[in-house]
Structure 1
Amino acid sequence: MDFIHNLLPLFKILFVFICMLAGIRLRLGVGPSILAGGGVLAVLTSMKMGEVLEVSGAALTDDKTIFLALIVALIMILSGLLEKTGQAGRIMDSLTGYLRSPRLRLVFFPALIGLLPMPGGAIFSAPMIQEAANGLDVSGRDKVVINYWFRHLWELAWPLYPGMILAASLCGMSVFEYIGYTFPGSLACIVLGCFFYLRPSVLPMKNNGSAFNDSANVRDFRKVLKEGLPLIVAIVGAFLFETLLSFFFPGIPFELGIVLALLAAVLCSLTANHGSMPIIRALLLEKRFLNMIFMIICVFVFKDILGACGVVDELARLAGGETALIAAAVFVPFLVGFIAGITLAFVGAAMPLVVGLVQAAGLQHQLPAWAVLCMFCGFAGIMASPLHICFLLTCEYFKVDMVEAWKKVVIPSLMLMLLGVAYFFVLL
């Protein structure tokens, strides 16, 4: 009887995650599902309503919550502007003259679109894959997996991805410091993508004729700089502002640097595309935009309820620290990522638990290693997910059977997870 009683914290947290996964699976939305999980956790741990409201209010007014919501809003505005004004297409047109290899042409456009963290962005690069594959012996299934895999190369190393910003914030790091640990994930994705999808024995491409005419092969670096200026300003500006703020004003949150850089990038895009203010107004009212902001708020409310209810401390004592950590950093993020197909979902659900367990076990010096393990496993889960919106849209675009394409994605995704485990032991 004592044994079962000791396991109660584990049963509670498992039940909470089951409720969250059920909500996601039933398409209630990631934000509402995470928020409902926080409510269930509060009930299971006998938190009083007044305490829940107090914790939730503190989460809503916390600097981290406000800054992150603002950053995500600006990223979505920038992505939307580049897409709807046609500037993203012009960026790609300006770069075609630098592409000579047929294989490079196939992977370049989805990889470039991957720099714009837009939900379902794979459908944006699918027509470009189709054009790049003209005259080449490339099957529909190969087009699907190349577009899907290389669209997500940068998600573990690009500072504009909301999932990376949220994870860094939850770990108490700047996004660039966090990327300093996670960037090998992108290198692993490149190697796995080349091995499983591009090597000659897998993709023979018997006809290597050019898919572009000579006029597309004109190189104009000034045009590249002109069209790509918003992206350049966003990335370089974020790094520059963060560095200056940390050096001259260490008391100011580093997120302010990212906000300033994104504002400058949005202004660059507005300047380059006159009359695009109505696009911003429309973006601010889109359901997708509002859902994303709501999701950020729900994640921070859940995080604070998780910290206040005491279940993390109980779980750490029960499992002796590292056993509970392995479950939280490996199985929880992979499962949530696989079910939801969204990075923010597994980061919001698993990362607060990982951070809480690391702190409860007194292993703060190991936090980067555990956080990286969580990211690799969760990202492997979303890449293996048949519910990933990019995967579904790409299969639909190329009219390819989803199961046949999915079979080619699962093994590389699991390999990425194994590489993450190996990298974890290196960091540890």
Structure 2
Amino acid sequence: MNEYLLILLLLFSFGTIIAMVANRKNFGLAIIIGCLILAISIPEKLPDIFVKTVTDFKVMALITIVIMIKMLAVILQETGLLQGVLDVLQQKLSYKGMLIAIPSILGLLPVPGGALLSAPLIDLHGKAAGVKKELLMTINLWYRHIWFIIFPLATPLVLLADLSGENIFAIIAMQIPIFILLFFIGYLYVRKVKNIEMKKKERKKGQLKGLLPILLPVSIALPLSFFMSTYSAFLISLPAGILTAFIMGKKKDARMLKKGISVSLAVAIFGIMLLKNIIFASRIPEVISSHLIGLPAVITIAVLSFVIGLVTAHNLAAVGILYPILAPFLTDISMVALLYISSFTGYLISPIHPCVVLTYDYFHPKFIDAYKFLIPPAVAVVVIAAIFYGIV
């Protein structure tokens, strides 16, 4: 297919997804329709891509993990265990400090789809001040992810250090100024929230036990991940967290488990993986790269990395795709950092990023209004990073 038609199909596919979601249509259905639109470019490959996606262990494992996380989140909320954790944090932090701390702390837990863990806590806390759902979604996504700019165990960062030959801590040091900028931007959103005086509730014994069902799966999965895939490790460990929460909670109702099972969420995750496979099979990343490669180095790295991160919604894949293409331009560590920052920012706000899907599914905000919070700072970060690394 003609390259320009291919890019138009991609834009039409993404535009359809965004339009449907903005009009409160089912996210899973929107993603599947987006897949069918883009599949017009490679109709002969679609059956094989579909079979590959259905039979991919990682895809099925991710769907199962996300459903189990949803079940765990429902049990923690229904039993009041989350409220106990909030009460303890309120002893130490201000109201606005809580909005930053909740997604930041849980964001460091390496759980696929982990935005769904912090969403109920953020929601519970945000209701006290009547915070808009769109703002809660933005704060949850922002503070959950920005730490991966400086987190040495972030897989895409480890991969980039390996590919570039640069020391990972040197890359992190180069990225600290942009991390500070990201943190400050997030704080500007937190400042929009009305400050309220929280009643310091008397601390009761055992209130922190609500963290156990969250920390237990991670504690089990971490050592297991040295011997098996991360997906396998969480498939084994998450049932332990669900069972622990069920036993610890005062309310023991099996219907809580059923409430956590979301077919629409499963369809959405499957659709995202199918769309990603269609994007790669149609060679869209290579086509986009070929049209941007002639620009000045700083602009090429910033724009191409942002676009590939946005289109793939997978930062690890984006880094793997980008490095071989941009290698001639990556003459020093500042350009390596620019690649990572730009691809990360595109990935962060991608409408097919699983954490965006999961957070949207939880809060059900107005989609366009939520993106009014996300897009301007994301673009600003890439522009500022390009200027900063172009000078350094």
2:348 to 379, 398, 403: 379
CA distance in 2: counterparts of 1:43 and 1:144, whole angstroms: 36
**Equivalent residues of 2:46, 2:278 under 8 A apart:** yes
**Equivalent residues of 1:55, 1:305 under 8 A apart:** yes
Structure 1: runs of 5 or more not aligned = 131-139, 160-164, 246-251, 335-345, 396-401
Q: 1:231 Cα deviation (Å)?
A: 1.9
**Structure 2 vs 1, CA of residues 223 and 53 (structure 1 numbering), >3 Å: closer, same or farther?**
same
Aligned amino acid, residue 257 of structure 1: A
**Structure 2 vs 1, CA of residues 69 and 367 (structure 1 numbering), >3 Å: closer, same or farther?**
farther
**Equivalent residues of 1:316, 1:360 under 8 A apart:** no
- CA deviations on 1:97-118 (whole Å, 9 max, x unpaired) are 334xxxx233315642674733
Q: Which residue of 2 aligns with 1:361?
A: 325
Q: 1:18 Cα deviation (Å)?
A: 2.3
**Structure 2 vs 1, CA of residues 64 and 311 (structure 1 numbering), >3 Å: closer, same or farther?**
same
- CA deviations on 1:33-62 (whole Å, 9 max, x unpaired) are 4433433333234x42xx321221012111
Calculate the TM-score normalised by the size of structure 1. 0.62
Q: 1:298 Cα deviation (Å)?
A: 1.6
1:106 to 82, 96, 103: 96
Is 1:155 matched with 2:144?
yes
CA distance in 2: counterparts of 1:391 and 1:74, whole angstroms: 14
Aligned amino acid, residue 377 of structure 1: G
Aligned amino acid, residue 262 of structure 1: L
CA distance in 2: counterparts of 1:309 and 1:146, whole angstroms: 36
Aligned amino acid, residue 96 of structure 2: L
CA distance in 1: counterparts of 2:371 and 2:48, whole angstroms: 45
CA distance in 1: counterparts of 2:316 and 2:64, whole angstroms: 20
Aligned amino acid, residue 102 of structure 2: L
- CA deviations on 1:228-266 (whole Å, 9 max, x unpaired) are 211222333333332x32xxxxxx323212323322221
- CA deviations on 1:175-231 (whole Å, 9 max, x unpaired) are xx9xx97x9687644333446755xxx9997xx9x5425xx154x6x5243222112
Is 1:271 matched with 2:247?
yes
- CA deviations on 1:46-82 (whole Å, 9 max, x unpaired) are x42xx32122101211122122112211211111111
Q: 1:9 Cα deviation (Å)?
A: 1.3
After superposition, residues 146-225 of structure 1 pair within 5 angstroms as: 150-156=139-145, 188-194=181-187, 198=191, 211-212=198-199, 216-218=201-203, 223-225=206-208
Structure 2: runs of 5 or more not aligned = 107-113, 149-153, 162-167
**Structure 2 vs 1, CA of residues 154 and 358 (structure 1 numbering), >3 Å: closer, same or farther?**
same
Q: Which residue of 2 aligns with 1:40?
A: 37
**Equivalent residues of 2:133, 2:365 under 8 A apart:** yes
Aligned amino acid, residue 305 of structure 2: A
After superposition, residues 222-241 of structure 1 pair within 5 angstroms as: 223-241=206-224
Q: 1:156 Cα deviation (Å)?
A: 0.8
CA distance in 2: counterparts of 1:192 and 1:147, whole angstroms: 14
CA distance in 1: counterparts of 2:66 and 2:240, whole angstroms: 15
SS in 1 for 2:143: coil
Percent same amino acid among aligned pairs?
Answer: 13
- CA deviations on 1:353-407 (whole Å, 9 max, x unpaired) are 846853773859999964652331353577xx9xx95998789xxxxxx98x998
CA distance in 1: counterparts of 2:238 and 2:389, whole angstroms: 32
Q: Which residue of 1 aligns with 2:265?
A: 292
CA distance in 2: counterparts of 1:392 and 1:189, whole angstroms: 23
Aligned length: 347
Query: What do you get for the CA RMSD once the two structures are aligned?
Result: 5.0
**Equivalent residues of 1:17, 1:37 under 8 A apart:** no
**Structure 2 vs 1, CA of residues 324 and 379 (structure 1 numbering), >3 Å: closer, same or farther?**
same
**Equivalent residues of 2:341, 2:385 under 8 A apart:** yes
**Equivalent residues of 2:218, 2:237 under 8 A apart:** yes
Calculate the TM-score normalised by the size of structure 2. 0.66
Larger radius of gyration: 1
**Equivalent residues of 2:292, 2:304 under 8 A apart:** no
CA distance in 2: counterparts of 1:57 and 1:367, whole angstroms: 36
**Structure 2 vs 1, CA of residues 26 and 254 (structure 1 numbering), >3 Å: closer, same or farther?**
closer
SS in 1 for 2:145: coil
CA distance in 2: counterparts of 1:421 and 1:94, whole angstroms: 42
CA distance in 2: counterparts of 1:55 and 1:312, whole angstroms: 17
**Structure 2 vs 1, CA of residues 420 and 262 (structure 1 numbering), >3 Å: closer, same or farther?**
farther
After superposition, residues 2-17 of structure 1 pair within 5 angstroms as: 8-17=2-11
SS in 1 for 2:115: coil
**Equivalent residues of 2:3, 2:287 under 8 A apart:** yes
Q: Which residue of 2 aligns with 1:22?
A: 16
Aligned amino acid, residue 57 of structure 2: D
Q: Which residue of 2 aligns with 1:117?
A: 115
Report 1 or 2 for greater relative contact order, CA contacts < 8 Å, sequence distance ≥ 6: 2
Q: 1:423 Cα deviation (Å)?
A: 8.6
